Amino acid sequence: MASTVKAETSHRETSAAIVWFRQDLRVLDNDALQRACVNHECVHAVALRTPKQWLQHDWSAIKWDLYERRLVTLANELAELGIVLTVLDVPDYAAIPDALCEFTQRHNATAVYWNRDYALDEVRRDHQVEQVLVEVDVHVNQLDSNVLVAPEQIKNGKGEYYRVFTPFFKAWLQHLANVGIPAPYTRETIKRANQNTAKHDVTAQAPAQTARPVLTSEAWSVTEGDVRRKAQRYVREQVQDYKQQRDLPALDGTSMLSAYFEIGVLSPRVAAHLLQKQSPDFPFGLSEGAHTWLSELAWREFYQHLMFHEPRLSRGEAFQVETDGFPWRNDKVEFAAWCEGKTGVPIVDAGMRQLNETGWMHNRVRMIVASFLVKDLHIDWRWGERYFMQRLIDGSFAANNGGWQWSAGTGTDAAPYFRVFNPFRQSEKFDPEGSYIRRWVKELADVPTKYIHDPASYLAAQYGQDLPYPVPIVDHAERRTDFIAKFKVAKSAASG
C-alpha cells in the first residue's frame, strides 16, 4: 500500500528531500520528482545501481547499457534544473536500505520520494527501505506515476482483482473516464517549484561505469526530448494504422517505445495524453488503431497488476497451478537450436536471430517463437521466459512473464492449450513475401517466395545433402498432437 503523500501547500518546507530514481528515469511527468520540488526547497536525487541483483534478475546486456546511458543524460537534464543526481553502487537490494538511509542523513533530508514498482522483490525492497527510514523520522512518499491505474484502484463486483483482460480493460477505461488523467508535469513546473535550488550552478557528474556485460544500445536515443518527440511522431503519423500493421514484422508498424516505458524514460500518462488529443471523449472515441495501441498500454498494466496481486508469479509459478504437471521434454539440443535460430523453421529462426543481434523482436514473432518452443519442442516456458529476459532491451518482468504464460496456456486469460500456432501458416499470413525472413535468415535470401516459408523440399532439390539451411528439427503436426494430448491429461489429473 502506498504511503500517504503530504498535501502540497503554498509554504514549502526548508528541509531537504530525496528523490529516489529507479525504473522512472525521467524528468517529465514524474510524480516523485514534482512533489519533492513543490514541497521542499532543497531536493537531491539518487539512483542506486545493483549489478548483482540485475544479474540475478536476468537483465540483458543491452538493457543494462541503455539504463547506464540514460543515467548520464538524466544527470545532465536534472543539472539544468539545479538538481544533482548521485549514483550509488551497491551489490543488491538487501544493501539498499542502509545505503539510502545513510545518504538521507548525510543530506539532512526529512522526506524521501519514489514511484512504486509492483513485482515481489521490489515490493519487499521498498517495504524494508520504508521501515529503516521511518525509524529515523524520515517521511516516505510513494507515488504511482509509472502506471495509469494503480493495482488497488480497480476491482470486480466481488471486490477482487481482475483475472481476465477484457473485463479488466473495460474497468480500466471507465476508471480513466471517471477520474481523468492529470496533466503531465513539465520541466517548467519543476523549475518554478525548485527555483531556489536552481539558482545555483550545478554540473552533472557522469556516473562511473559498472563492471557489466556489454551490448551497445547506441541505436536507441536516451535523451528525454528525443524519446518524447518519437512518441509524438508515432501518435501523430502512424498510430491510426497500428491495428492493420502491428502483426507484419517486415514493416515498422509498431511504436518501438517499449524499452523507454520499461526504464521509465517515457511514462504511460504522457502516451495517454498524446492519444487524448485525438478524441474529446478520451479514452473513448479513438480511431481503431489508436484504441488498439491504448489496449497495449492496458495489457502492460494488467500484467503488473497480476504480479502485484499474485506474488507467486514472481517466483516462477504458473498461474494455473494444475499445468505444472505437464511432462516437459526439455531437450537441451533442441533448446540450443531455438536459441541460435537454427530450427529449420524460417519465421522462428528469423525472430531469434533478430533478438540475438538487436535485443528486440517483433511482437507477433515473439508469440510465434514462444508457441514453437512450448508446443512444438515441449520445452518449459520458463526456459524461454528467462532467455528473453537475458536478451531483450525492453525486458519487462511482468509483461514477459504474462506473455509467456499466455503462449504456453498456463496463465490467466491464456490462449487455450489446444490453440497451437502453425509456424508455417503464421509465416504465410504475416510475412507473405518473406521479406522479414530474408532480412534475418541470410541463407534463404534467394529462395523463391513460393518456398520461403517452408523451404526444405526446394533446398533439397537444389543442394542435395549439402544444405545451406537445416530441415525442421521436429514435425509440427506430430508434436502438436502430442502436446495437446499430454496437456489435457495433466489438467485432468490435477483436477482429479
As annotated, the binding site for FAD includes 242, 254-258, 293, 296-303
Task: Please provide residue 13's backbone torsions phi and psi, each rounded to the nearest 5 degrees.
Answer: -70, 145
- Taking the CB of residue 334, how many other CB atoms lie within 10 A of it? 18
Report the binding-site residues. 242, 254-258, 293, 296-303
Cell of 200: 545555483
Residue 328 among the catalytic residues = yes
CB-CB contact of 343 with 472 (8 Å): yes
Residue 83's nearest CA partner among 204, 213, 248 is 204
Query: For residue 254, how many C-alpha atoms fall within 13 Å in the half-sphere facing its CB?
Result: 17
- How far is the CA of 60 from the CAs of 356, 369, 420, 428, in angstroms? 11, 19, 29, 31
The label of the residue with cell 494504422 reads 241
Task: Indicate which residue of 381, 383, 406, 440 is catalytic.
Answer: 381
Residue 299 annotated to the active site: yes
Catalytic annotation, pick one of 328, 356, 422, 428: 328
13, 310, 322, 363: which one is catalytic? 363
Of residues 118, 132, 459, the one with CA closest to residue 304? 118
- Picking from 364, 373, 372, 346, the residue whose alpha carbon sits closest to that of residue 439 is 346
d(CA 51, CA 148): 29
**46 and 86 Cβ atoms separated by less than 8 Å:** yes
Q: Rounded CA gap, 477 and 428, in Å?
A: 17
Q: Is 385 a catalytic residue?
A: no
The terminus-to-terminus CA distance of the chain in angstroms comes to 38
Exactly one of 13, 41, 296, 310 is catalytic; which is it? 296
Neighbours of 230 (CB within 10 A): 17
CB 401 within 8 A of CB 303: yes
Name the residue with cell 502485484.
Answer: 308
202-226: burial string, b at 16+ Cβ within 10 Å, e else = bebeebeeeeeeebebeebbbebee
Q: Which helix (H) or strand (E) holds 175?
A: helix 165-179
Strand partners, 3: none
Taking CA atoms, 67 is separated from 226, 234, 245, 351, 391, in Å, by: 16, 23, 29, 24, 14
Q: Specify whether 64 is catalytic.
A: no
User: Comparing C-alpha atoms, which of 20, 3, 271 is closest to residue 147?
Assistant: 271
172 is catalytic: no
Q: Which residues are catalytic?
A: 296, 299, 328, 363, 381, 404
